[in-house]
Every structure is written in structure tokens, then in C-alpha cells.
Amino acid sequence: MKVTLPFLFAAAAALAVALGAPLATTVLGLIAFGVLHNVLELRYVTGRFAPVLNGRFLAVLLGLISAIVLCRIAAMFVGQPARNAEILVGYAVLAAGCAHALRGWLLGVAGSVLAVAAGVSLSWPGYHFVVLAHLHNVVPLFFLWEWAAALPPVTRRWFRSIQVGWVFVVPAAILLGAFDVSGVSASTVAAFAGDPAKIMALSAPPASSVAVGARFLVVFAFLQTMHYFVWVWFLPRYAPDAARAFEARVPWLRGSRAWALGAGLGAVLGLLFVIDYASGRALYSAFASYHAYLEFPVLLAMLLGAGAARSQLVFRETATGGQQTAAVSTLTGEI
């Protein structure tokens, strides 16, 4: 139960602050944990899935995501054309993941699905970016589901059930009106974050009513807080193997250096947030593309790569006494 109880307490606390002050939770949470969780998520993903994220595949992904960074910077000046370009490059990232995980007719089917989805996204770009924002916050479910494979059966069932609860059940209850969302109002946060309606628009479907937009904002604030809990507290504590694997690849970020890097960059960007929140958020969004988009090819490898791609997701744990244990599959937990 030691791995399940923290999520119950975290979900209760996240729901309380999201309902009580969703604007402040969204804005201040981003300032406090945004950059740090970027660094720690990249450490986890590139460490635990190092056999997948390497070589030419990693180079292709970094090239595509760097193009997305440029698109997001350009969007500050040219607007929608750059956002449309981001949509296209984003689907290219997904296509690269499919090409890595699939072969034959399955790859053709996946390509057709992506082509149709890209057309839909380009037709309704406002909806695309709202979906992307919420999807990013629920991605930890898949990594937690995969991590739990090595837990004892009973614990694993409880753990996964709780993850489904906070990712799907709680947000659904909020959207259906089960909770009072009257806490969505202008506050002192608006003094430097700007118009609350603009913040709400980032998480609500276009042309939503105030009531619907408020519910989506509460959902976003709740999921964002849980997202930070997973990357900043839970996985660094309970998945140290990923950090060790990352440090083997990037030895200059061993130990507390990754934390120091995240905290230092976060402090610098936090100052910009306070001075000019809109510019700070735009800059953060651009460079956050690396962690936001790199996770999707890994998910595709997990979900679609039933063959060679899945068999690569293996790491070795080192016992506390330094003795090597058997290889463990990160997908099945088999030895």
C-alpha cells in the first residue's frame, strides 16, 4: 500500500486546490514546477527507455522536435501559420514512432490514421491544442501502468485502479458538474498573469460558455498538479533505476545535478513569468516541446510495438549491495 496511499492523498489535495483556486493553481504550479518537471521527466523517459531512444531514431526525433520549438517561437510573431506547421511536424513525430514500432500493413494503417487525424487537426486547430494540453497531463498514466508491471498482483491491481480513478473518474465528475467550480474567478494572480479568460481558453474547447470553461480549467489544474506529483515526487522516489540509466548516458548530470539544473532554470524563467507572464509562458512552451513530444513515440513503442520494439524495453537493476540482479522487462515484469 505504500505506493498507492500517496496517490490518494495527492489526488485529494490536488482536487482541493484545483476547486478552491484553479487559476492560481494553474499559474503558480507552472512557475514553481514547470521547468523542474521537464528535466525530471526527460531523465526518466530517456533513462528507462534508453534502448528505444537511441541512435538514428533519437536523432530523428530531436530534429523534428527542434523544428516544433522553432514553430512555437515563430508563433509569437506570425501566429496561426506557425501553429499549423507545429501540427504537421507533431504528426511527423508520431509517424516516426509508428515507423519505428510497426512493419508491413500495420504501418500502412497507422499512416492512414495519422493522415486523417492531421487533416482533422488542421481543420480545427483550436481543439487540437486543447486536446494536446490535456493529453499531456494524462500521459503519466501509461508510464505508471508500465512501471506497475513489476508489482505484486494485488498491489498492481490497486495501484492501476487508483491511476484510472484520478486520470478519468475525477475529471469526468468535474465536467459533469459533481463539484462546485465557483472558485474560478479573477484573483491576485491576474495582476501579473493577465486576463483569466485567456488562461481558461488554453484548457477549454473554443467558444465554450463560462461555466463549461470553468469546469475544464478545474480539470486542467487538477491534472496538472497530479502530473507534477508523478514526475517531481513519485517516480524519482520509486523508480531510481531510470535515473541510474540516464546518468550512465549523461554522467555530467549525476545525482543532484539534474535537480539543480531544473531548479536553476526554473528560477530564471520564473522571474520572466513574474515580469511578463505571457512571454514567459510562450518561451516555456517552446522549450517544453522536448519533453511533451518525446513521450509520444515511447508510448507508441509501448502500445504498438508488440515485437522487436517491446523486447528492447529492458533494464538491469542494481541491488543495494552492488550485486547485479536479473534483467527485468519494463513492460511485462518478467525475469
> How far is it, in rounded angstroms, from Cα 28 to Cα 221?
10
Q: What are phi and psi of 178, to 5 degrees?
A: -75, -15
Half-sphere exposure at residue 288, Cβ-oriented, CA atoms within 13 angstroms: 20
d(CA 260, CA 257): 5
Find out whether 23 and 199 touch, Cβ atoms under 8 Å. Answer: yes
In eight-state DSSP terms, residue 204 is: S
Cell numbers standing for residue 38: 521537464
Contact status, residue 7 vs residue 145, Cβ threshold 8 Å: no
The CA dihedral of 242, 243, 249, 253, to the nearest 10 degrees, is: 160
Name the grid cell of 324: 547485479
Residue ranges of the domains in the chain? Answer: 5-329
Q: What is the pLDDT along the chain (335 residues), one digit of tens a residue?
A: 689 999 999 999 999 999 999 999 999 999 999 999 999 999 999 999 998 898 999 999 999 999 999 999 999 999 999 999 999 999 999 999 999 888 899 999 999 999 999 999 999 999 999 999 999 999 999 999 999 999 999 999 999 999 999 999 999 999 999 998 776 665 667 667 777 888 888 999 998 988 899 999 999 999 999 999 999 999 999 999 999 999 999 999 999 999 999 999 999 999 999 889 989 999 999 999 999 999 999 888 878 764 444 444 544 343 333 333 333 444 434 33
> Which residue's C-alpha cell is 465557483?
182
